[in-house]
Homo-oligomer: A and B are copies of this chain.
């Protein structure tokens, strides 16, 4: 692929998805440590807190462009900044949410997202009972207003909490408004154009893992 493979070898340019998925956990811990007045933390300490191996922590943090100091560990301040940079948690990801039902309302009310830089700028629903009100201080608009508000607010991310039946049509509306990433909480397998990212959040997957892990553990002789 590369004509000088030896050059790129050490630089660890391409971040790996398992690493990305752990970054929010590091971030939460680091923010906590900072609030306790700590300045440095070792990979060993982080690993203990998050139930990981120190070597995993060091490799992950290497991706963020940080370097630790021998005998001290990593600068908490620097780590926070670089992790926030890597995952774009910079308060700039404007999002639209569609489907203000049970799950959609819960997400609208979740303060945690603001911490991660996700700004749900507007919500949309079909139900006449739900629109033109606010839910957890977020405005809920009729679905047909989506293009108008998109033109004004330029959302990057679309959060999908509508029933399976309407998921595909709502996604198409979002995509045609220039949304670049779909966070799909419905369990519908969606089709999106090649330049749009689709992130499926499948709760059943986690439940399946839990269920099988319980089985495994109960059968395991000694572990």
Contact = CB atoms under 8 A, between A and B. Distances in A.
A40 interface: no
B208 A24 contact: yes
A52 to B, nearest CB: 10
Contact of A105 (B106, B181, B195, B202): B106
Interface residues of A, number: 58
Interface string A196-218: 01010111111111111111011
A97 interface: no
A17 B206 CA distance: 10
A28 B164 CA distance: 12
Contacts of A49: 189
Q: How many copies does the complex hold?
A: 2
A87 B214 contact: no
B24 A180 contact: no
A79 interface: no
Main secondary structure of the interface of A (DSSP, over half): helix
A210 to B, nearest CB: 4
Nearest to A199: B210
B189 A20 contact: no
A181 B214 CA distance: 6
Contacts of A213: 181, 197, 199
- Of the candidates A112, A118, A136, A209, the one having the most CB atoms from chain B within 10 angstroms of its own CB is A209
Interface of A: 15, 17, 20-25, 28-29, 49-51, 86-89, 93, 102-103, 105-106, 109-110, 112-113, 116, 118, 136, 156-157, 180-181, 183, 187, 189, 194-195, 197, 199, 201-215, 217-218, 223
13 contacts: A17-B209, A21-B209, A23-B208, A24-B208, A25-B202, A51-B189, A102-B105, A116-B207, A180-B214, A180-B217, A180-B218, A181-B214, A194-B223
